[in-house]
Amino acid sequence: MKMTPGTRSRFDDHRNYDCLIPLVIPHWEAFYGTVAEFVPPGAEKVLELGSGTGVLSSFIRKVRPSVHLTCIERNPEAIAIAREKPDLAGTVWIEADIRKAWPERPYDAIVSTQCLFQLSPDDREEIARRAHGVLTEGGCFLNGDLFHPGTARELDLSIDAWCRFMQNSGLTEQESRAMIGPLERMIQGYTIEAWSALLTSVGFARVAIPYRSGLYAVAAGFRDPAVESQ
């Protein structure tokens, strides 16, 4: 996962990021794979927000090898690592903040993983509105993220289970707790139900939740012309 602000560990170096993922994300292949599989089979242009070192990008390339993939990432070190991956040749990399202007073109899918939870509620809403505005009819907005489970008790249980997973994977207790950092504050009010309602409010005709495990979930918002034209 993208480390929460303030995290300090042996994994701070972006070159270690890809090795970190299986150690900290339970069922990580199912998580990223779900996002990739929900990119429409006929998609030609895909925009990824907060692409990091290109982990999701590689999953998309495996299942949708012909798409034109544009990735926005503000960290130049992460982009440099992603550029070195042979399977991502031809990808367009843009060093920028995803809250700034996006390239002007319609997209068949907009995707993001472990990114939006770090934004403010207002910024998340603006991202959702903008995504709806630049998607083609029938396009989808896929957000794989960390979500609040709804109650403090559920959150405590989820975090404890997550820390145990990371420690069983080889992280120290200090590293696992640092990985979580100020997560509780960052995802307060950001439930999968609230996000789904937001997608509907900004105009998405249908919302599906194809993946959910612990704090991780994937939400898909669809611009469905058959529904929106009624």
**Contact of 207 with 38, CB cutoff 8 Å:** no
Domains assigned to the chain:
14-228 (3.40.50.150)
pTM above the 0.85 mark?
yes
**Contact of 116 with 127, CB cutoff 8 Å:** yes
Q: How confident is the model at residue 104 (pLDDT cuts 50, 70, 90)?
A: confident
Q: How confident is the model at residue 10 (pLDDT cuts 50, 70, 90)?
A: low
CA distances from 33 to 16, 64, 123, 158 (A): 21, 12, 26, 22
What does the pLDDT look like over 135-148, one tens digit per residue?
A: 999 999 999 999 99
Question: Is pLDDT above 80 for 93?
Answer: yes
Beta bridge partners of 145: 217
**Contact of 46 with 68, CB cutoff 8 Å:** yes
Residue 196 has which token pair?
Answer: 């789904």
